[in-house]
Amino acid sequence: MSTMMRAVQVHQYGGPEQLRVEEIPRPESQAGELLVRVHAAGVLPMETAVRGGMFPGVMPKAFPYIPGTAFAGVVEMLGEGVTGYEVGQAICGRSPGGTYAEYTTVLATPPAYTWDGDRQRLTASVIPLAPKPVTLSFDEAATLSGGATTAWTSLFDDGGLAAGQRTLIHGAAGGVGLFAVQFAKWKGAHVTATASTANVDFVRSLGADTVVDYTATLFEQVAQDVDLVLDTIGGDTRLRSMKIVKRGGMLVSVVEAPPAELAAELGIRAINNQTLPTSDHLRQIVAVIDAGQAKPAIRRAFALHEAHRAHALSETGHGRGRIVLHIAD
């Protein structure tokens, strides 16, 4: 095995042009770690924000850095003391070491965490890891962490969604929304979802009971007295959505904190997605997918050297499914 690898590196904040493929030393698995050959990496919206300098002094810790956290790949080497995994095993999840690369390392047993309100600080220490779904390709499996995991924790851990309840899911064609629609239907909820004209049929195919074309119809005209709203949009959409939640119901936002004063006035709960995903969450998701109850959608796959194009596309906003980097076959 070569001691070098290709990886995308960022040397300074800026536009997508800052993403450059370079030859750098391959990481070594330390005690308790897996060395993973990355076959695919998910491109998450947060990564374009970090590259653009929206979190200076917090993320990244130092330059140069390798972007990316979501991945699917194959275990290449076991660090000292690792049990429960084997060389050649296909896995998926999240790595804090950067995944826009041919190799990454990840702790085989992620540390436990205690929620103290500082999501930014805790993100690097919560590393969901699970066997890759047998029914998915590596590209598809790379969409689960950050997409499926956010949908799952928002609906069930934060939102407490139960069978028979009514839910409204915004941005239902996006990387989080498309999983949220399928998980909510799997749970037995009644799902109303919003999407653009081009994505109405796609969202309906995911199982949504009602799909609102937000370019033509106000969702308030269709959805009323819902038990749970999943907000992936923010802004005015978030505020309008709070007003159609029934008293005692809930809005969970994955983009920005809802105003507590308005929530109190309306008699509802409104929170940010607070539950950080764990390996147990990801394993439950894998089981649901392998049972045929949910499936991912890929907006577009790019090669590693096209990472700048992947970020440029991500920054255009609305789209169907997740963008991925296809790194190895």
Q: Is residue 291 part of a domain?
A: no
Q: Is residue 79 part of a domain?
A: yes
What pLDDT does residue 123 have?
Answer: 45
Please indicate, yes or no, whether residues 84 and 116 belong to a single structural domain of this protein. Answer: yes
The parent domain of residue 261 ranges over 148-272
Please indicate, yes or no, whether residues 305 and 184 belong to a single structural domain of this protein. Answer: no
Please indicate, yes or no, whether residues 11 and 127 belong to a single structural domain of this protein. Answer: yes
Contacts of 268 (CB under 8 A, 6+ apart): 242, 245, 246, 247, 248, 249, 250, 251
- Domain with residue 26: its CATH number is 3.90.180.10
Please indicate, yes or no, whether residues 138 and 153 belong to a single structural domain of this protein. Answer: no
Whether 257 has a pLDDT exceeding 80, the answer reads yes
Q: Is residue 177 part of a domain?
A: yes
Distances (CA, A) of 232 to 77, 238, 268: 38, 8, 18
Q: pLDDT tens digits, residue range 33-50? A: 999 999 999 999 999 999
Note whether 226 and 248 are within 8 A (CB): no
User: What is the count of structural domains for the chain?
Assistant: 2
Closest alpha carbon to 32 in 75, 79, 96? 79
What amino acid is encoded at 198 in this protein? Answer: A
Please indicate, yes or no, whether residues 97 and 172 belong to a single structural domain of this protein. Answer: no
Please indicate, yes or no, whether residues 56 and 173 belong to a single structural domain of this protein. Answer: no
* Rounded-to-integer distance, Cα 51 and Cα 39, Å: 22
Please indicate, yes or no, whether residues 120 and 190 belong to a single structural domain of this protein. Answer: no
Q: Is residue 190 part of a domain?
A: yes
* Rounded-to-integer distance, Cα 200 and Cα 88, Å: 40
Please indicate, yes or no, whether residues 91 and 158 belong to a single structural domain of this protein. Answer: no
Whether 193 has a pLDDT exceeding 90, the answer reads yes
Please indicate, yes or no, whether residues 98 and 8 belong to a single structural domain of this protein. Answer: yes
pTM here? Answer: 0.92
Q: pLDDT tens digits, residue range 109-129? A: 866 554 455 444 444 446 899
Buried/exposed code over 206-219 (b: 16+ C-beta within 10 A; e: otherwise): bbbeebbebeeeeb
- Domain with residue 242: its CATH number is 3.40.50.720
Q: Is residue 320 part of a domain?
A: yes
Q: Is residue 175 part of a domain?
A: yes
Mean pLDDT over 68-80 rounds to 97
